[in-house]
Amino acid sequence: MSQAYLGIAILFAVGILNAMVMLGLSHLISVRRKTTAKAIAYESGMQPLGDTRQRFSVKFYVVAMLFIVFDIETIFFLPWAVIFRDLGLFGLIEMFVFMGVLAVGLAYAWKKGTLEWD
């Protein structure tokens, strides 16, 4: 069994060695000239604006969380839809229960005013 994994181990070893040799060689033989333009943080070619560690409004996180909830709902829906016929009535009821629980969460978020930006 361990023989089968030998190739992967060799691949890892060669990969790491390759990276180390490349970085090491360029470190040893390259020419370095420090200019101000090179010292600036890279931001897609633009001049960076402001500090990196700026704070974001908590609203972004709430929207992101709501997105993830419905994202994951979709993930669960897909395999369910594929084997829907085999699951029959039980699968249908279960999925409605699942949707009901999510709907409770959505109703809560809605009444709490999470869906409004201001």
Partner 1 sequence: MILDFSSQLDYLWALLPEVVLSITAMTILLVDVFRRGPRAEQSGTWVPAAALAGIVIAAMVTVFQLGFEAHTTTSMIAVDGFRVTLTLVILVATALAVLFGMDYLAQRGLGIGEYYFLMLMAATGMTLLTASRDLIVIFVAIELMSISVYVLAGLDRKDARSAEAALKYFLMGAFASAFLLYGIALVYGASGATNLGLVASELASGAATRNPLLYAGVALLVIGFGFKISAVPFHMWTPDTYQGAPTPVTGFMAAGVKAAAFASLLRIVGVGLAPAAVVWHDIVWWLAVLTMIIPNVIALQEDDVKRMLAYSSVAHAGYLLVGLAAGSALGFAASVFYLGIYAIMTLGAFAVVSVVGGDLDAGAGIGRFRGLGWSRPLLGVLLVVCLLSLAGFPPTGGFIGKLYLLRAAVGSGEGLLAVILVLSSLVSYYYYLRVIWKMYFEPAPEEAVALPVPGRGFRLAGALTVLIVLAAGIWPGPAVDAADAAGTGVAPSALVGGEQSPAPSPVSGGIQVN
**Cβ at position 75, least distance to partner 1 in Å:** 16
Contact flags string 44-83 toward partner 1, x per CB under 8 A? ----------------------------------------
**Cβ at position 103, least distance to partner 1 in Å:** 10
Contact flags string 85-114 toward partner 1, x per CB under 8 A? -----x----------x--x--xx--xxx-
DSSP conformation class of 2: G
Report how many residues bind partner 1 under the rule CB under 8 A. Answer: 8
What gap in Å lies between CA 106 and CA 65, rounded to an integer?
11
Which residue type does 78 have? L
How many degrees, rounded to 5, is the angle at CA 41 between CA 15 and CA 33? 75
Q: Which two tokens stand for residue 22?
A: 């490349």
**Cβ at position 70, least distance to partner 1 in Å:** 18
How many degrees, rounded to 5, is the angle at CA 88 between CA 83 and CA 91? 75
Instruction: Pick between residue 40 and residue 104 the one whose CB is nearest to partner 1.
Output: 104
Residue pointed to by tokens 């200019």? 35
Instruction: Pick between residue 42 and residue 116 the one whose CB is nearest to partner 1.
Output: 116
How many degrees, rounded to 5, is the angle at CA 61 between CA 60 and CA 62? 95
Q: Which chain residues interact with partner 1 by CB under 8 A?
A: 90, 101, 104, 107-108, 111-113
